[in-house]
Chain A
């Protein structure tokens, strides 16, 4: 049973660039959520996708956007990168129609902005 996978593992970008992170949900899951974890902090909710639409959004600027594909995989895009965007980006998947929709996390993508 494949868990949540994310790519790439690490990424280094410079300020002003754009980045795309990818996530494949756990087999059988239909919902993908993205979180940002800064050093020493807990993960912060960015947004959530279900049925290829953004369902909920946290307190992040429009520079952060996403997409969900028909196979439930998802992308997170960040434009005009800032130094403060350096963080671990976590993807979590869940099954909304299940008895519990506990979120299961991938290993994350470590983004460094120079």
Chain B
């Protein structure tokens, strides 16, 4: 029973263009949503988060959108840079206290010069 799905295993984008990574979840009780980036041989690095009371959160080049009715989360990276090439995981939690994160399977983003 996969509660969090990232249906695109990989995504290729040219430098300067927009990267859009998608994530779907099944449980409407999830309350807090996060994106992590992972380089090989490193642990996941926190990128950006959003709580269920919002539908958008921005931090520099990164914007997360939440559509609660569709149970859909997306991460936009504008403009994309070669250094953004990594595996991106979405993660969800039922609450903001004592998070128990449920991760998707990841999307590998490749940004070419």
Contacts and interface: CB of A to CB of B under 8 A. Distances in A.
B46 A42 contact: no
A42 B3 CA distance: 12
| Chain B contact patch, size range | 20 to 34
B41 interface: yes
Nearest to A42: B103
A42 B105 contact: yes
B103 to A, nearest CB: 3
Contacts, number: 65
B101 interface: yes
Given A43-B89, A45-B100, A94-B99, A105 B105 contact: no
B88 to A, nearest CB: 11
B97 interface: yes
A48 B36 CA distance: 19
Interface string B82-113: 00000001010000111111111110000000
Interface of B: 4, 34, 36, 41-46, 49, 89, 91, 96-106
